[in-house]
């Protein structure tokens, strides 16, 4: 029953796929998974990879995205997500969880967690969401040390180290480009160009550097929501939708909870819910029967079929 409880693609294969995707000429779309189940959905729909967002991880714990989470929390969640998917997982390692030596340790811990790559950003601690005002960056030399430490700690040469620069929103796009070049020289495989405003800025960045580039299409932030095809034409290699699935789910959850509070029932909400049978399909419930029918003998016919949203 390989691939049932955990995906059976080895981490090394996922990392090689991530690297190959970055030089394929096709933009690699990595939606954020707020839990392992969402990662399964992302794979089923056919995306190239899964993103694990620091903003989502913090929000999930009821915290703002200001560097309060620990390496243990972030890598633990990353491992749970990476375990269930055959896709490469890119994880948000914020500023590396400490000084350069801690950034190096972060790489080893993420490798052990089955992650395909991580990004480190050039913000000072405490960090901010890249789309808010009031953030600050460390000197280029300090970020270069952070990156060199990370690169030197890598045991799998295919593990992707992505350098994020937040400088565009502070010192302008030209300064961000200069930093990106220094970060690539320090060994970064991919540059995350945070909080650019317009297509023209993405084009300017692309024309100035020759390493793979990642765009962040987060909603309600500083960047125009540029479609993946356009980013691909500009020459970007990867795009993340970091908080999208959490925003969709939380919006639906809030509406549903308000309706139950008002009407005393969820009966009117069934059409807006994932059906039990769809959930079971995503979880591959039936294959657990084959795994050991002596322990488990689930059948969808047990469904009572009440409510118009329930088809079986």
Ligand X SMILES: C[C@](O)(C(=O)O)[C@H](CC(=O)O)C(=O)O
Contact, 252 vs 286, CB < 8 A? no
Q: Is 247 in the site for ligand X (CB under 6 A)?
A: no
- Polymer length in residues for the chain: 312
Q: Say how far residue 268 (Cα) sits from the centre of its chain.
A: 33
194 flagged as catalytic: yes
Instruction: Give least dist CB 55 to ligand X, A.
Output: 3
Pick the binder of ligand X from 31, 67, 117, 130 (CB under 6 A): 130
Tokens found for residue 32: 């954020």
Backbone angles phi, psi at 179, to 5 degrees: -65, -45
Q: Which residue has tokens 């967002």?
A: 53
Q: Among the candidate windows 2-10, 17-25, 126-134, 167-175, which touches ligand X by CB under 6 A?
A: 126-134
- One of 48, 65, 122, 201 is an active-site residue; which one? 65
- Residue 69 gets the label, from left (phi > 0), alpha (psi -120 to 50) or beta, of beta
Contact, 15 vs 117, CB < 8 A? yes
Q: Among the candidate windows 3-11, 52-60, 138-146, 176-184, which touches ligand X by CB under 6 A?
A: 52-60
128 flagged as catalytic: no
- Binding site partner of 216, from ligand X, Mg ion, none, Cβ cut-off 5-8 A by kind: ligand X
Q: Is 114 in the site for ligand X (CB under 6 A)?
A: no
Pick the binder of Mg ion from 31, 54, 67, 169 (CB under 5 A): 54
Nearer to Mg ion, 120 or 144 (CB): 120
Largest CA distance in the chain: 65
Q: Among the candidate windows 2-10, 47-55, 148-156, 230-238, which touches ligand X by CB under 6 A?
A: 47-55
Q: Is 41 in the site for ligand X (CB under 6 A)?
A: no
Nearer to Mg ion, 7 or 240 (CB): 240
Which residues, listed in sequence order, are joined to residue 239 by a DSSP beta bridge? 29, 215
- DSSP letters spanning 179-206: HHHHHHHTT-SEEEETT--SHHHHHHHH
92 flagged as catalytic: yes
Kindly report the CA angle at 18 between 12 and 22, in degrees rounded to 5?
145
Contact, 15 vs 157, CB < 8 A? no
Nearer to Mg ion, 3 or 126 (CB): 126
Q: Is 242 in the site for ligand X (CB under 6 A)?
A: yes
Tokens found for residue 238: 């990867």
Contact, 150 vs 159, CB < 8 A? no
- One of 19, 119, 146, 179 is an active-site residue; which one? 119
Contacting residues for 13 by C-beta, under 8 A, at least 6 apart: none
Q: Is 53 in the site for ligand X (CB under 6 A)?
A: yes
Q: Is 49 in the site for ligand X (CB under 6 A)?
A: no
Q: Is 169 in the site for ligand X (CB under 6 A)?
A: no
Q: Is 54 in the site for ligand X (CB under 6 A)?
A: yes
Q: Which of residues 219-238 bind ligand X (CB under 6 A)?
A: 221
- One of 48, 129, 189, 288 is an active-site residue; which one? 129
- Angstrom CA distances, 170 to 123, 132, 190, 242, 290, stand at 11, 11, 21, 22, 57
Active site residues: 51, 65, 92, 94, 119, 121, 129, 164, 194, 216
Q: Which residue ranges make up the site for Mg ion (CB under 5 A)?
A: 54-55, 92
The residues binding ligand X (CB under 6 A) are 53-55, 65, 92, 129-131, 216, 218, 221, 242-243
């Amino acid at each position: 029953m390989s691939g049932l409880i955990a995906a059976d693609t080895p981490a090394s294969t996922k990392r090689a796929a991530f690297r190959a995707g970055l030089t394929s000429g096709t933009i690699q779309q990595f939606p954020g998974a707020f839990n392992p189940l969402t990662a399964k959905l992302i794979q089923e729909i056919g995306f190239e990879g899964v993103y694990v967002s620091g903003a989502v991880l913090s929000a999930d714990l009821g915290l703002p995205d200001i560097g309060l989470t620990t390496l243990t929390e972030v890598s633990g969640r990353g491992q749970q997500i990476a375990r269930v998917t055959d896709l490469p997982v890119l994880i948000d390692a914020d500023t590396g969880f400490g000084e350069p030596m801690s950034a190096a340790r972060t790489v080893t811990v993420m490798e052990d967690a089955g992650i395909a790559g991580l990004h480190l950003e050039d913000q000072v601690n405490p960090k901010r969401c890249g789309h808010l005002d009031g953030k600050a960056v460390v000197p280029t030399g300090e970020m270069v040390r952070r990156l060199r430490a990370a690169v030197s700690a890598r045991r799998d040469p295919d593990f992707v180290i992505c350098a994020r620069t937040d400088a565009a929103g502070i010192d302008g796009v030209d300064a961000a480009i200069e930093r990106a070049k220094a970060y690539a020289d320090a060994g970064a495989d991919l540059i995350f160009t945070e909080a650019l405003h317009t297509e023209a800025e993405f084009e300017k960045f692309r024309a100035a550097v020759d390493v793979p580039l990642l765009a962040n299409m987060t909603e309600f932030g500083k960047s125009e929501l540029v479609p993946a095809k356009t980013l691909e034409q500009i020459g970007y290699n990867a795009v993340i939708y970091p908080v999208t699935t959490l925003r969709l789910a939380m919006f639906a959850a809030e509406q549903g909870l308000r309706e139950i509070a008002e009407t005393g029932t969820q009966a009117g909400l069934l059409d807006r819910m994932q059906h039990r049978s769809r959930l079971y399909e995503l979880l591959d419930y039936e294959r657990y029967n084959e795994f050991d029918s002596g322990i488990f003998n689930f059948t969808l016919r047990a469904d009572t079929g009440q409510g118009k949203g329930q088809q079986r």
